[in-house]
Chain A
Amino acid sequence: MTDTAPVPGPPPPTGPAPATRTRTGPRRFVAPALMVGPVVFFAVFFGYPVTAIVARGLRPDGEWELGHVGEVLADEGIRQVLWFTTWQAAASTALTLLLALPGAYVLARFRFPGKRLLRAVVTVPFVLPTVVVGAAFLGLIGRGGLLDDLWGLRLDTTVWAILLAHVFFNYAVVVRTVGGLWSQLDPRQEEAARLLGAGAFGAWRRVTLPALLPALAAAALMVFLFTFTSFGVVQILGGPGYATLEVEIYRQTAQLLDLPTAAVLTLLQFAAVAAMLGVHGWTVHRRESALRLVDAAATDRPPRGAGERLLLGGVLLSVAALVLLPLGVLIERSLRVPDGYGFAHYRALATTDTGTFVVPPLEAVGNSLRIAAVATLIALLVGGLAAAALTRGAGRLVRGFDAMLMLPLGTSAVTVGFGFLIALDTPPLDLRSSWLLVPLAQALVGVPFVIRVMLPVLRAVDDRLRQAAATLGASPLRAWWEVDLPLVRRALVLAAGFAFAVSLGEFGATVFIARPDEPTLPVAIARLLGRAGEANYGQAMALSTVLMLVCAATLLALERIRPARSGEF
């Protein structure tokens, strides 16, 4: 598994090779052709619905009423909300990167028992309903929580609770986005730098960091967008005193039905997100270059020496504190029964004879898996095509396309959900009560992940490999199949895991879509938590634990879709 032969083929680039792309002949049309699918998808399922709902707000009676824009923007409260939204997102992003980058490194470079399990476990927070996560965090950092018991320290209703919860949710974003590329960078380059006299940190800074930068920027961008549109976490852990733009849009749309104000706020959100995308584009522009990629299985090794073991230990400890502890609180509560501990809540989930409503949990598992499988497939298809198109083109058009595909991450879920309702309401697009709308809405959030995970790797593929394939007579499709696919397989698996978790956790607009009566796991949890009674609470915790297990098991299974012997490219 590890005795990788040196790469046959073109000589390894000595530094980052200039990403020159001479496009001649039919290849010029490849990028636009690949873009058609994703563009149509986004136009129909994002652009059109969001435009419809915003237009409805700005033109209530067929006349543009733009005076309202000024009123909303002049509101002192709105400006405070915008400021808080932005700085908490920036702080959350910085903290997440700080805490998760060592994790990404360890998972990319070290071999240790339980590594796959760890990678699956850090993704589990992604799928948990915020109410449940809120309960777990309150159990740790709230009154009577662990910190309170030990040191009398309480963080609830402070911004620290919000930031920590954001790290909890987004740890996997960094590990998966950055770790994916990191594990495929050839460690020998860094080793060469060290042989030439560079220190450990210096070699990392000069050799590895520049190569990682696109993935790093992508991870930062996604964490920022996610925390920028954070909703439940802010409300539950911060308390009603904290409000993000997302909270305000939700209130104006879902509760007050004040569409004019909601429309202005949505545009404000777009402007902020667009600015962020601009910064991101500027950061990675011209930084992406062909890298020498190797098989991930060949780059990891057992930690050597005290320093590396210390690093591994530190990462494991931080994961335990940040991720495992909150998850453990939920498991502990699911096992708590009136007379001690036991599996009574799990047994209650397995029977439906309590006389009243209980969603048969197995049915909910089936519904969740089915919808998530479809959503993952849509996200991989659309995201994969888009990433392939983005690899082949540069230029302004392509960069705009790239930014457009990120917008759903930074758009309020209620805007998209209500947009679906008023836009997709006439045949042949009357999908309002179709089950397909649910995976479609989830794919909208999954696609940006797929692109951001795959793109840094795809762009790093040396174009000369493709050119060599073409010279040998391969069609573009064949070249992609033989050159790109083997190199991005690892990224593909990581991206699929993301898209799957996004769907399993009911991310995004799905909450705002009325749907046929096929409860998924998060919906069933919400219904259990929505009624009084100690047993309902216990069962909700038990079902949350089931959701974690389903998520972890599927991610582990996903990672196994690869042959036993690899690394021959």
Chain B
Amino acid sequence: MKRTSRRTAALALPVLLGTTLLAACGADSDDGGDRNAAENDTVTLVTHNSFEVSEEVLALFTEQTGHEVRVLRADDGGVMVNQAVLSAGNPQGDVLFGVDNTLLTRALDADVFAPHRAEGLDAVPEEFQLDAGEWRVTPVDHGDICVNYDRAWFDEAGIEPPQDLADLTDADYRDLLVVQNAASSTPGLGFLLGTVAEFGEDGWQDYWRQLSDNGVRVVDGWEQAYYEDFSGSSGEGDRPLVVSYASSPPAEVLYGPDPDVEEAPTGVSTGTCFRQIEFAGLLEGAENPEGGAALLDFMLSLDFQQDVPLQMFVHPVREDAELPELFTRHGAVVDAPLTLDADAVTENRSDWVDEWTNLVVR
């Protein structure tokens, strides 16, 4: 009986130990150690899960400045900003990218950022420069949260798709719209804020009552709304109207069966759009402020700005950045997006969401 158990151990132990050693070695060599051990030519970029950039563009940055970029991702934008607030002064990295106008004041109030006026800011329209003068954050991209519609469905039904928020309460669009939970989803919150911007702080509640009466469906997150309930994408859903982004149609074309298709399968109701601007900033207490500043400058360079549309499906903030053909052909032009004052959002967000939850969900 001894022999067998020994043999088992003799078999199992090396396997286990080998795996660990391999694992440990593999991890170390890939990683470059923790931040404290990192050389000062590494810039750590703290960001969210939707951040993407071409490898060539990052390589260009390293070539130009000598700094390597290390990306550290949080799950989503809200979690990322809260993490930055909690670690203010002793940050996880050097630069934070992805704080948007709905979360901006929370980050600024917590003194998360150190000022840096990025090169290239002169090419950015003033409407995006929400911290002009203090330069704690630099606008990098913008996008719009809008109602998308399923073209084929509306063609078949023989009705025009809705144009603006008021349309959505028409009987024509009864039981057609699916939105996200404003308490847990970024586009859900954006759409709610859009209705506040349109109907005022005392008028949006009435609008939502009408939407409820008109059969709006609320689901948890964007993935579920867009892929499981909306009829225009994966084909699983039964609702031809969904809250998504102005850039979703180009994405449908690029990731659809035929990238050369004449018209995207989905369209955008351009009167329903809430403007989202994403900012980057140098983190207060950064270990490599010089590299961080260089990265901020680089984010406003044409190389980075023109990489943004096809990587993150948002628009560059620089006026002189060229959009790819996919966007000029299939992207929606949003002339008059809905906006709200960032301070007002920070101040009221929790109350609005609570009120909305009681009104629509419960």
Contacts and interface: CB of A to CB of B under 8 A. Distances in A.
Contacts, number: 216
Given A135-B228, A251-B183, A511-B75, A425 B23 contact: no
B82 A257 contact: yes
A533 B233 contact: yes
Contact of A434 (B34, B247, B248, B350): B34
Contact of A418 (B5, B82, B223, B228): B82
B361 A241 contact: yes
Contact of B5 (A258, A422, A486): A486
A482 B2 contact: yes
B24 to A, nearest CB: 7
A11 B180 CA distance: 66
Nearest to A139: B236
Contact of B313 (A256, A366, A370, A531): A531
A1 interface: no
A481 B6 CA distance: 9
B223 A516 contact: no
Interface in A468-518: 481-482, 485-486, 489, 511-512, 514-518
B78 A254 contact: yes
Given A235-B184, A255-B184, A514 B73 contact: yes
Contacts of B244: 532
A433 B35 CA distance: 7
In the complex, which of the residues A255, A357, A535, A562 has the most CB atoms of chain B within 10 Å of its own CB atom? A255
A509 to B, nearest CB: 11
Contacts of A109: none
Interface residues of B, number: 82
A135 B70 CA distance: 33
A371 B350 CA distance: 37
A356 B56 CA distance: 11
A433 B92 contact: yes
A65 interface: no
Interface in B193-249: 218-224, 226-228, 233-236, 238, 244-245, 247-248
Given A514-B92, A568-B1, A433 B34 contact: yes
Interface in A348-380: 355-357, 366, 370-371, 373-374, 377
Contacts of B46: 514
A562 B350 CA distance: 56
Contact of B26 (A56, A258, A370, A511): A370
A123 interface: no
B132 interface: no
Interface in B320-362: 349-350, 357, 361-362
Contacts of A517: 70-73
A563 B11 contact: yes
A537 B233 contact: yes
Nearest to A258: B350
Contacts of A131: 221, 223-224
B306 interface: no
A517 B50 CA distance: 12
A432 interface: yes
B65 to A, nearest CB: 19
A144 interface: yes
A536 interface: yes
Interface string B78-107: 111011011100101100000000000010
Interface string B1-36: 110110111011001100110111011001100111
A563 B8 contact: yes
B256 interface: yes
A536 B234 CA distance: 9
A401 interface: no
A563 B9 CA distance: 9
In the complex, which of the residues A355, A516, A566, A569 has the most CB atoms of chain B within 10 Å of its own CB atom? A516
Contacts of A239: 218-220, 361
A195 interface: no
Given A251-B183, A370-B26, A529 B233 contact: no
Contact of B227 (A135, A254, A436): A135
A150 interface: no
Contact of B52 (A357, A486, A566): A357
Contacts of B86: 56, 257, 418, 421-422
A374 B4 contact: no
A535 B252 CA distance: 8
Nearest to B35: A433
B30 A518 contact: yes
A537 B248 CA distance: 13
A33 interface: no
13 contacts: A134-B220, A134-B228, A236-B224, A370-B23, A427-B36, A514-B92, A517-B73, A518-B31, A527-B50, A531-B313, A532-B252, A532-B255, A563-B4
Given A512-B74, A530-B50, A569-B1, 6 more contacts: A373-B19, A422-B86, A481-B5, A489-B5, A531-B255, A563-B11
Interface of B: 1-2, 4-5, 7-9, 11-12, 15-16, 19-20, 22-24, 26-27, 30-31, 34-36, 44, 46, 49-50, 52, 70-75, 78-80, 82-83, 85-87, 90, 92-93, 106, 181, 183-184, 218-224, 226-228, 233-236, 238, 244-245, 247-248, 251-252, 254-257, 310-311, 313, 349-350, 357, 361-362
